[in-house]
Amino acid sequence: MNTKKTYMKRTLTILLFLLSIYNISSAQQTETMNMNKKETHPQVQPVTYTCPMHPEIQASSPGSCSICGMKLIKDKPKQVANPEQMDNMKNMPMIKANLDNIKTIVNNTPPQTIRYDLYIADTIVTFGKKSKRAIAVNGQIPMPTLTFTEGDTAEIYVHNNLNEETSLHWHGLFLPNQYDGVPNLTQMPIKPQSTHLYKFPVIQNGTHWYHSHSGFQEQIGMYGMFIMNKRKEWDIPTIPVVISEWTDMNPKEVNRSLHNATDWFAINKATVQSYAEAIGKGHLNTKLTNEWKRMNAMDVSDVYYDNFLINGKNQNEHPQFKAGDRVRLRIANGGASDYFWIHYSGGKIAVVASDGNDVEPVEADRLIIAAAETYDVIVTIPDNKCYEFLVTPEDRTSSASLWLGSGEKVPASKLPRLKYFAGMKMMNGMMDMKGNMIEMEGMHMQNQVMDMNTVMYPEITGPENPKDPMKEDHMQAKEMKMGQHMAGMDMDNSSSEIVTLNYGMLRSTEKTTLPSGTLKELKFDLTGNMNRYVWTLDNKKVSESDKILIRKGENLRIVLFNNSMMRHPMHLHGHDFRVLNGQGDYAPLKNTIDIMPMERDTIEFAATESGDWFFHCHILYHMMSGMGRIFSYENSPPNPEIPNPKLAQRKLHADDRMFHFMARASIESNGSEGEVMFANTRWKASTQWHFGYQDMHGYENETMIGRYLGRMQWWYPYIGFDYHYKVEGGPKNIFGSEEKNWFGQKSNQNIRKTIVAGIAYTLPMLFVADFRADSDGKFRFQLTREDVPVTNRLRFNMMINTDKEYMAGLRYIVTKYISISSHYDSDMGLGAGLTFTY
Ligand SMILES: [Cu+2]
């Protein structure tokens, strides 16, 4: 296996590669802005020849790389990793969008109280392949757009006509704590068949949204736009754009499946990254390293969705626009878990606000919007044609579109499939053997400036399989060009390079410095593991941590390090925070910050409110598993909406303490075996059986309860009960007599009723080692490996232990619940049949 040094080297290579990509766009932008080139131009150093992919290879004359054979190029790779250079990059120049000539219109209507009545009811929709239950408000999905003007008072009557509790959270709004809409924290849930009033002054402006904060209701329709106009607004057409996902699966079942370590979603998305695929693509070593490091397959999103919606439809048409028209899109990602790429076929996208706060207009070719973020953008209709505003989920499984204008359709180019093995290779390099993301010395991974996932984007880094000679040329050419950029020479300013928006490019239109006050600094690691779907801060769920007390008048600075393999959009209720992105006094204000793996981001805000405010990951399924904290103002007056705080807290904590039921049972020609379990984040109770059809094939049942330990949950100590009954005459054991085990102890397989205590530990390659002792003083050591992904749908399982028991089997997954299976086992012999999973 590779040494740690190799991993570090590989990580460094990837980073250098990303830096080179970064340099292209930053250099290009410098050009456009006519900025002083001295600031970003690299220092002159002696010329060496190096490999674009392997910077450690350096030669004084041209030649080829001894590692990959790629042609060496003139370069000075050392300076790229220079921290000083990194600092220059932080103050990167941007392409300003010129919007000075847009006219404005003033609203002279005096401030007023605006009343909305929202009737929440069950409905049936066919957004996917089948008709399914959803929740509509006033008969529509998304919920109606609520519009106010700064200075108005909002009076919103919520009529709950569901047979379950509900709530509405006003995302990004500054309002009295009791109207924030978090059930069991700022109010009690709105009971079925009752009405609840939210009434608060509108003291801000911008594009926001609102959604249910109860259970999984947000996934099935309870999201809508919440727009607060300024007194003076741009006088151009404005379209609210709320993006969402749809799954035909009940979201409770989605949640259970995620906790069940099923890869059904990956099978649907064709992202299993099986051994067959790894070998076919020349990535066996990558796959082995990945499993050696106890990781699961690489992916950028958790859930498979059947459809993606913009304002409730996959395709939207706005034919009224003509050449030269400019349109403002107020975009909110109301999806429960996905990030979305945004492109426009009619040219650049001018970004003018994020999370309802204005930024200096900046141009980009594309941007990614995290769950719960909002962006205001302005696009131009260049000609009398119909241009596509394309919205693509990060996993690129499908897309949704908004068509602007009429006439000949100008489609945006669809995003190609991600290069998952390139992503896996990158992830391998980023993670150490303890499951920690390795932070690079002198590299500031922050604010999306370096998107590690770029290695997976074929549109930027070339196609996946460079073995194809045509493609290899393309790839090599592209890398050559990047290498040249690293050397600061022959810059190709062709418009083919893609400018992707990142947080470093957001600059507030006004100073955002905090009022003077004491500064309190808090640090959180974003932690989790995909295998058991545990998502936490500092390895603690909401229910496992105390409220964080803060004091009105102080300033809070929060440093967030993402030590997990997924990106997380962290959202703070009731406050805007500054994102420290190198823009100094003009740091942008946001309420949701996307943090990529390995990033360390800093936010700060003034504590100006009172009461309890939720701070959590806005991926619904991460939040429900406990990824958050509660900020609580000291000495707040009691919240009149929470008559019994103890009861409310118990109900709030119930969310992340929830147990999930899982089962797997086979019925094969030689007998039945299976497992049923109840598990939550820390605890698991399970019973396993193994029944032959005849006495000589044995009956075994083990029931145990245990607790997962550690952040990565590789340790699982347990106690339980084991019953084993068998008579002579079963299949001949390949290890000879079963009378004694491999420790020389008398085996009691014929009739065994014992209490057992043991500990299981997940080894590299995802083998589970299980050592236990029973009440008769007998020891057993067992190795198990389950669900080796042989192909997209074929799984291999094996087990061997010191009682001379062994098993090997294959399972072909037909549907989410049914597999065709066959296995050989030392008690029951060979059999074949069906396996049911729930
Ligand atoms: Cu998350």
Tokens representing 794 are 């074929």
Average pLDDT over residues 737-762: 88
435 alpha carbon – ligand 1 mean position (Å): 17
Q: What is the pLDDT of residues 344-369, one digit of tens each?
A: 999 999 999 999 999 999 999 999 99
SS (H, E, C) 706-723: EECECCCCCEEEEEEEEE
Between residues 193 and 441, the one the model is more confident about: 193
Helix spans in 749-800 (H) = none
Residue 472 has pLDDT above 50, yes or no: no
CA atoms within 13 A on the CB side of 187: 21
132 alpha carbon – ligand 1 mean position (Å): 27
622 alpha carbon – ligand 1 mean position (Å): 5
* The pLDDT value given to residue 66: 62
* The pLDDT value given to residue 697: 84
Q: What is the pLDDT of residues 763-776, one digit of tens each?
A: 999 999 999 999 98
* The pLDDT value given to residue 93: 52
Average pLDDT over residues 77-101: 52
The pTM of the full predicted model, rounded to 2 decimals, is: 0.87
* The pLDDT value given to residue 452: 79
Share of the chain above pLDDT 90, in %: 72
564 alpha carbon – ligand 1 mean position (Å): 9
- What is the rounded CA–CA span in Å between residue 604 and residue 595? 15
Confidence of residue 44 (pLDDT cuts 50, 70, 90): very low
* The pLDDT value given to residue 75: 54
* The pLDDT value given to residue 735: 86
570 alpha carbon – ligand 1 mean position (Å): 7
* The pLDDT value given to residue 775: 92
Mean pLDDT score of the chain, rounded to an integer? 87
Average pLDDT over residues 573-581: 97
Average pLDDT over residues 302-307: 96
- What is the rounded CA–CA span in Å between residue 452 and residue 430? 10
527 alpha carbon – ligand 1 mean position (Å): 9
567 alpha carbon – ligand 1 mean position (Å): 6
- What is the rounded CA–CA span in Å between residue 807 and residue 824? 6
Confidence of residue 95 (pLDDT cuts 50, 70, 90): confident
Which of 150, 155, 157 has the alpha carbon at shortest distance from 202? Answer: 150
Between residues 147 and 4, the one the model is more confident about: 147
Least confident of 72-81, 121-130, 561-570, 750-759: 72-81
Between residues 739 and 518, the one the model is more confident about: 518
* The pLDDT value given to residue 748: 73
Buried-exposed string 450-464: b where 16+ CB fall within 10 A, e elsewhere: bbbbbbbbbebbbbb
Give counts: helices (H), strands (E), the chain: 11, 48
Average pLDDT over residues 22-44: 38
* The pLDDT value given to residue 37: 31
Q: What is the pLDDT of residues 363-386, one digit of tens each?
A: 999 999 999 999 999 999 999 999
Confidence of residue 607 (pLDDT cuts 50, 70, 90): very high
Range among 384-388, 563-567, 697-701 rated most confident: 384-388
Residue 495 has pLDDT above 60, yes or no: no
* The pLDDT value given to residue 566: 92
**C-alpha 493, offset from chain centre:** 33
Share of the chain above pLDDT 70, in %: 85
Pair 368, 400: CB distance under 8 Å: no
Confidence of residue 20 (pLDDT cuts 50, 70, 90): low
Residue 40 has pLDDT above 50, yes or no: no
- What is the rounded CA–CA span in Å between residue 259 and residue 253? 10
361 alpha carbon – ligand 1 mean position (Å): 29
* The pLDDT value given to residue 466: 53
Q: What is the pLDDT of residues 65-84, one digit of tens each?
A: 565 454 566 653 333 333 33
Q: How far is CA 480 from CA 85, 268, 491, in A?
A: 21, 36, 11
Residue 228 has pLDDT above 50, yes or no: yes
64 alpha carbon – ligand 1 mean position (Å): 43
Tokens representing 552 are 């009105």
* The pLDDT value given to residue 57: 64
156 alpha carbon – ligand 1 mean position (Å): 30
* The pLDDT value given to residue 429: 87
* The pLDDT value given to residue 72: 64
459 alpha carbon – ligand 1 mean position (Å): 26
504 alpha carbon – ligand 1 mean position (Å): 21
583 alpha carbon – ligand 1 mean position (Å): 26
14 alpha carbon – ligand 1 mean position (Å): 24
* SS3 call for 322: coil
255 alpha carbon – ligand 1 mean position (Å): 14
Confidence of residue 610 (pLDDT cuts 50, 70, 90): very high
561 alpha carbon – ligand 1 mean position (Å): 13
* CB count in 10 Å sphere of residue 567: 25
* SS3 call for 29: helix
DSSP 418: P
* CB count in 10 Å sphere of residue 323: 12
Vertex 638 angle, CA 632 and 640, to 5°: 120
